[in-house]
Structure 1
Amino acid sequence: MHLPLLFITMATLTILSPGPGVLRSLTNALNYGLRPALVGILGTASGTFCIATLSATSLGALLAASNNAFTIIKYIGAAYLIYLGIKLWRAPAIELDNNETPPRSPQSLFIESFFMQFSNPKAIVFFLSIFPQFIDPTSDYAPQFIVLVCTFCALLFCIHATYAFFAQSAKRWFSHGQGGRWMNRIGGTTFIGFGLMLAQSKKAAQ
């Protein structure tokens, strides 16, 4: 296994950087509370594990080699991000003092976060282009894969949970007047922006 400390550093920086997954964890914490947000984070981590697994299979090779397959996956992901952005933009402002924000089931939060991760450019790029550099080709692949991917998912859960925890400290500001409305508008615009960026992205040259 090549340079595990470097892998942890790169994984941490990748997860810490703003992206659709981080934004989803923050908005879940602000809208539904810390515990539901943690369920969503589990969904994000599970989606990440699946992306890593797919990148290690023939599908990963197909996406790397086929322009058509890459384009189809790219536009599906972009459309989903834009859909989430419009949905968040139109959502009512968070209200702490009443029950206007409808509760969400843990299953729906998990599933939404799980599938959203498949449209996360950070995760896709990391596991298709960066992750393979940390695999030692002279050693057994499976143990290295399991250790590295589980490490990444554990880091993701801890970092996103920290984001969600600190979001709770700012919840009261977001819940009054323009604060909650601007949070939804900024979040929605960001999702739409990520979707448009993904739609315009090009596959790296082989």
Structure 2
Amino acid sequence: MANYGLFIILATLTVLSPGPGVVLTISNSLRHGWTGSLPGIFGIALGAFVVAGISASSVGVILATSATAFTLLKYVGAAYLLYLGIKMWRAKSFIPELKVTSSRPWRRFSEALSIQLLNPKAGFFFLAVFPQFIQSEGNYYSQFFLLVSSYSLLVLLVHTGYALMANSARSWLTTNSGARIVGKLSGTTFFCFGVLMASASK
């Protein structure tokens, strides 16, 4: 495979960059501890794997060529991010959720999976990047599986790192002011991502 190391570097920088998934991982870690954020992290990783598979199929081609399909998915994803932003902004305090896990792990998993699946830009990342690292003379499926698996593993590692860092700051967040600040910042960030997604173009 051509330039696998370069792909790892590019993928790592992409996963490290702030986005809705990163914000959700940090929020889950602050609410439920770093182990409580793992269901969401697995949801994001699985979402990346699924999006990569879709982007390599005819569905990915449709999204890349159809303005209507792209617009529809874009607005659905934006609406979901806006909903999460308003929900976090209106939360009076994160303190009860820091002490008692109020949401089920499968909800955190499905929430993270939905965020990843409803982001059309993720699919275009795979459509744009993958062809550059797959050799035409090699087996397409084995190379594709290696790249997607590597990307998903990087998601697990990087997001776990984010969760651990956020968890280390939980002592400050046991104060009312800290909890409220995190709620407002998280809500505002999700809202901004929603607006940016709604205004995005191919």
TM over 0.5: yes
Give the structure 1 partner of residue 196 of structure 2.
Answer: 197
Instruction: Give me the whole-angstrom Cα distance separating, in 2, the residues matched to 1:112 and 1:2.
Output: 35
Q: So what's the TM-score if we normalise by structure 2? A: 0.94
- Return the alpha-carbon distance in structure 2 between the equivalents of residues 98 and 22 of structure 1: 18
TM-score normalised to structure 1 length: 0.92
Contact 2:64–2:124 (CA<8 Å) still a contact in 1?
no
Structure 2 residue 48 is matched with structure 1 residue 48:
yes
Q: Is the 8 A contact 1:15 1:156 kept in 2?
A: yes
CA offset at residue 175 of structure 1? 2.4
Note the C-alpha offset of 1:179.
1.1
Gaps of 5+ in 2: none
SS of the equivalent of 2:22 reads helix
- CA distance in structure 2 between the partners assigned to 1:84 and 1:187 by the alignment: 9
Alignment-derived partner of residue 76 in structure 2: 76
CA deviation digits over 1:68-97, x for unaligned, max 9? 111111111111111111111112322279
Q: What does residue 177 of structure 1 align with?
A: 176
What's the counterpart of residue 21 of structure 2? 21
> What residue identity is the alignment partner of 2:11?
A
List runs of 5+ in structure 1 lacking aligned partners. Answer: none
Aligned-residue offset at 1:189: 0.7
> What does residue 5 of structure 1 align with?
5
Cα shift readout 1:15-61 (whole Å, capped 9, x = no counterpart): 11111111100000001112120111001101111100000100000
For the Cα contact (< 8 Å) 1:51–1:123, is it kept in 2?
yes
Q: SS of the counterpart of 1:158?
A: helix
Q: Which residue of 2 aligns with 1:66?
A: 66
The equivalences for 1:122-133 within 5 A come to 123-133=122-132
Runs of 4+ deviating beyond 4 Å = 96-99
> Aligned to 1:171, what secondary structure does the other structure show?
coil
Q: Deviations over 1:118-147 (max 9, x none)?
A: 234653332132222222222211001110
Q: What is the SS of the residue equivalent to 1:137?
A: coil
The reply on whether 1:188 has 2:187 as its aligned counterpart is yes
Pairing of 1:115-126 with structure 2 (within 5 A): 115-120=114-119, 123-126=122-125
Percentage of matched positions with identical amino acids = 45
- The answer for the alignment partner of 2:113 in structure 1 is 114
Over aligned residues, Cα RMSD in angstroms? 1.7
**Hey, what's the Cα distance between the residues in 1 that align with 2:39 and 2:50?**
17
Distance in 2, Cα, partners of 1:123 & 1:173: 34
Q: Secondary structure at the match of 2:138?
A: coil
Q: In structure 1, what is the Cα distance between the partners aligned to 2:145 and 2:51?
A: 13
Distance 1:74 1:182, change over 3 A: same
Q: What is the alpha-carbon distance in structure 2 between the residues aligned to residue 130 and residue 89 of structure 1?
A: 35
User: Matched residues in 1 for 2:5 and 2:31: separation?
Assistant: 36
Partner Cα separation in structure 1 for residue 155 and residue 97 of structure 2: 32
